[in-house]
A and B are shown apart, each in its own frame.
Chain A
Amino acid sequence: METDINSQDRKDLDKFIKFFALKTVQVIVQARLGEKICTRSSSSPTGSDWFNLAIKDIPEVTHEAKKALAGQLPAIGRSMCVEISLKTSEGDSMELEIWCLEMNEKCDKEIKISYTVYNRLSLLLKSLLAITRVTPAYRLSRKQGHEYVILYRIYFGEVQLNGLGEGFQTVRVGTVGTPMGTITLSCAYRINLAFMSTRTTGEDTGVTYPSVEDSQEVCTTSFSTSPPSQCVFTVTKAHFQTPTPVVTDTLRVPMAGLAFSHQLSSSRLSYQPAALGVGSADLAYPVVFAAGLNTTHPHQLMVPGKEGGVPLAPNQPAHGAQADQERLATYTPSDGAHCAATPSSEDTETVSNSSEGRASPHDVLETIFARKVGAFVNKPINQVTLTSLDIPFAMFAPKNLELEDADPMVNPPDSPDTESPLQGSLHSDGSSGGSSGNTHDDFVMIDFKPAFSKDDILPMDLGTFYREFQNPPQLSSLSIDIGAQSMAEDLDSLPEKLAVHEKNVREFDAFVETLQ
Chain B
Amino acid sequence: MNCRSEVLEVSVEGRQVEEAMLAVLHTVLLHRSTGKFHYKKEGTYSIGTVGTQDVDCDFIDFTYVRVSSDELDRALRKDALRNSGGDGLGQMSLEFYQKKKSRWPFSDECIPWEVWTVKVHVVALATEQERQICREKVGEKLCEKVINIVEVMNRHEYLPKMPMQSEVDNVFDTGLRDVQPYLYKISFQITDALGTSVTTTMRRLIKDTLAL
Contacts and interface: CB of A to CB of B under 8 A. Distances in A.
Interface of A: 36-46, 49, 52-54, 120, 123-124, 126-127, 129-131, 133-135, 138-139, 142, 171-177, 220-226, 232, 234, 314, 316, 318-320, 322, 452, 454
A45 B49 contact: yes
Contact of A41 (B50, B156, B163): B50
B74 to A, nearest CB: 14
Nearest to A45: B46
Interface string B39-78: 1101111111111111111111111110111000000000
Given A120-B156, A130-B64, A41 B132 contact: no
Nearest 4 pairs between A and B by C-beta? A174-B154, A320-B58, A134-B143, A36-B54
Given A37-B52, A42-B35, A127 B163 contact: no
Residue of A38, A142, A452 with most partner-chain B CB within 10 A: A38
B119 interface: no
B63 A138 contact: yes
B65 A130 contact: yes
Contacts of A54: 49-52, 68
Nearest to A322: B56
B52 A129 contact: yes
A494 to B, nearest CB: 55
B51 A320 contact: no
Interface of B: 27, 30-31, 34-36, 38-40, 42-65, 67-69, 128, 132, 135-136, 139, 142-143, 146-147, 149-151, 153-154, 156, 162-165, 177-179
Contacts of A319: 56-58, 60-63, 135, 139
Contact of A52 (B35, B58, B136): B35
Contacts of B150: 127, 130-131, 173-174
Where chain B touches its partner, the secondary structure class is mixed
Contact of B46 (A123, A138, A220): A220
Contacts of B62: 319
A45 B46 CA distance: 7
B60 to A, nearest CB: 7
Contact of A53 (B50, B56, B58, B60): B50
Contact of A225 (B143, B165, B177): B165
8 contacts: A41-B50, A53-B50, A130-B149, A172-B151, A223-B44, A224-B42, A224-B43, A234-B44
